[in-house]
Structure 1
Amino acid sequence: MHHMYYSSGIFGWIMGVIHLVFPLMVILILFRFFTGRGNSLLPVQSYRSERDPLEILKERYVGGEISREEFQRMKEEIRG
């Protein structure tokens, strides 16, 4: 039996795409929920908050963002 949504023309094409995309979206949402990766809408922020502060400081020093003195001072503050 021919489904009424799959008619000829642009509307039939759009409904076909929706029927393909919707199940994929549901699977993605369920995956993120069950793996714990759905806690933040901005994964970059959650990644940054989980990183070691000393590693971030080392990266900034190596990248030339801070001087050796600033690096030493901040490293002592982190450890202290």
Structure 2
Amino acid sequence: MMHGWGYGMRGFFGGGMLMMGIFWIAIIAIVIYFLRNSNKSTNRVETYRRDVKEDPVEIAKKRYAKGEISKEEFQEIKEELKS
């Protein structure tokens, strides 16, 4: 009768503890993976926007449309950028 109980405990400590350790390491690795990738996915759009270079004339057009610069200043900027 004791032999059956002892055999089960030996199996638990022999392979069961190893499997439990592997299980928790895998869970922790999965959580870290998702935490890192969720942060990167939100930054991809911002990185793309920073990488795209706007044309200086387009910037001047936007500033003129907002009223930040006058028509004369806009014309000067365009002429200066052409040369």
TM-score normalised by L of structure 1: 0.50
Q: Which is richer in helix?
A: 2
Which has the larger Rg? 2
Higher relative CO (Cα under 8 Å, sequence separation at least 6) belongs to: 2
